[in-house]
């Protein structure tokens, strides 16, 4: 396998297969310690910007070094999967982050990643690796940036010139040498649209988001009550928030995804505020049985609605 023309053709095959499986882009970087990220992550954690997300503190070393996740790791394959949707619920309605309109992305993408991994194994024989969708201690954006899929914007999302930022990130870490891509440069320029638009001032300075002040954190991760100081600041978001992406100029070029599983069955997009307010646990479990919205739980969604009603 060490013959370079082999490595080159295998790399091309992997990227072609990724496209066939519906991934938007695929980039590969050399696995190693993320030197630049270490002080940033440490600083962010020291300032408690992870709020109640204590899982961020665990596995600190693993987050920075993929060889601690997959023994002998040589490559990190980063992939993006589009979830942009032009369909919005009624504007007068409660708001839900676009990524949660259809089936839970964890399952949808994990299946495709496994297919890609199987394909690589068929081509190469016995390799050791793991697939990750928004799971385990992988600093996804750092890897995606290293492999040329985009830059990390002032709102700390990965942004691509061609595709904006409405996509999921996922990875395959494996002990196989491949052809590596080059880091992408930053194209935010002097734009501060995301910073200006964030209603809770969660983007405390360019490229730094205080996770404990973010609407996505309040509505999904936070188990305690939403802090009173957030009252009156934000719109009707009850699951996640898209504001800093909606205002980003690079998202003018976003095109709707072609993944049937990400299409909402229409049931919840057509729900009125009243339907949400009166929803029973049974209805919640039925409507959202395959949805990422389950992560917030029935009680969490009810709390989020109550918080907005109290404003």
Q: What is the pTM of this model?
A: 0.92
Residue 59 to residues 54, 55, 75, Cα–Cα distance (Å): 10, 8, 20
Task: Tell me, yes or no, whether 83 lies in a domain.
Answer: yes
Report if residue 155 sits inside a domain. yes
pLDDT category at 249 given cuts 50, 70, 90 is: very high
Catalytic residue among 104, 115, 134, 186: 134
Annotation says 134 is catalytic:
yes
Whether residue 9 is contained in a domain is answered as yes
Is 77 a domain residue?
A: yes
Say how many domains are in the chain. Answer: 1
Cα 37 from chain centroid? 18
- For 38, residues 6+ apart whose C-beta sits below 8 A from its C-beta are 64
- Asked whether residue 219 carries a pLDDT value surpassing 90, the answer given is yes
* pLDDT for res 137: 75
Q: What angle do CA 200, 85, 226 make, to 5 degrees?
A: 25
Per-residue model confidence as pLDDT tens digits over 43-59: 888 888 888 888 888 87
Q: How confident is the model at residue 41 (pLDDT cuts 50, 70, 90)?
A: confident
Q: What pLDDT sits at residue 127?
A: 94
Report yes or no on 134 lying in a domain: yes
pLDDT above 90 for 98: yes
Domain assignment of residue 49, yes or no: yes
The domain in which residue 152 lies consists of 4-87+100-174
Give the per-residue SS3 of 1-47: CCCHHHHHHHHHHHHHHHHHCCCCEEEEEECCCCCCHHHHHHHHHHC
User: Is residue 61 domain-resident?
Assistant: yes
* pLDDT class of 90 with cuts at 50, 70, 90: low
pLDDT digits (tens, 9 = 90+) for 226-242: 888 787 777 899 999 99
Q: What was the pLDDT predicted at 309? A: 83
Tokens (6 digits) for 147: 């492999």
Q: What is the CATH number for 136?
A: 3.40.109
Does residue 154 form part of some domain?
Answer: yes
Q: Tell me what the mean pLDDT of segment 149-177 comes to.
A: 97
């Amino acid at each position: 396998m060490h013959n370079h023309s082999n490595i080159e053709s295998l790399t091309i095959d992997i990227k072609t297969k990724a496209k066939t499986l519906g991934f938007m882009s695929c980039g590969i970087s050399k696995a190693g310690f993320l030197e630049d990220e270490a002080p940033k992550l440490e600083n962010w954690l020291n300032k408690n910007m992870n709020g109640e997300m204590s899982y961020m503190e665990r596995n600190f070393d693993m987050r920075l070094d993929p060889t601690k996740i997959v023994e002998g790791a040589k490559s990190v394959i980063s992939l993006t999967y589009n979830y942009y949707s032009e369909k919005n619920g009624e504007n007068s309605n409660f708001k839900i982050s676009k990524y949660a309109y259809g089936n839970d992305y964890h399952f949808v993408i994990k299946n495709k990643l496994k297919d890609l991994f199987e394909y690589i194994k068929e081509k190469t024989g016995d390799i050791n690796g793991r697939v990750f969708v928004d799971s385990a201690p992988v600093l996804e954006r750092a890897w995606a940036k290293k492999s040329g899929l985009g830059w990390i914007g002032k709102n700390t999302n990965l942004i691509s010139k061609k595709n904006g930022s409405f996509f999921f990130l996922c990875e395959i870490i494996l002990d196989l040498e491949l052809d590596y891509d080059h880091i992408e440069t930053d194209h935010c320029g002097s734009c501060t649209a995301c910073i200006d638009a964030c209603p809770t001032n969660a983007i405390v300075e360019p490229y730094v988001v205080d996770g404990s002040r973010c609407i996505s954190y309040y509505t999904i991760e936070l188990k305690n009550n939403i802090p009173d100081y957030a009252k009156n600041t934000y719109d009707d978001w009850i699951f996640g928030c898209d504001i800093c992406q909606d205002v980003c100029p690079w998202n003018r070029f976003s095109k709707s995804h072609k993944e049937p599983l990400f299409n909402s069955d229409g049931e919840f997009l057509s729900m009125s505020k009243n339907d949400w307010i009166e929803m029973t646990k049974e209805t919640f479990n039925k409507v959202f049985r395959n949805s990422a919205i389950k992560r917030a739980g029935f009680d969490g969604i009810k709390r989020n609605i109550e918080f907005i009603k109290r404003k």
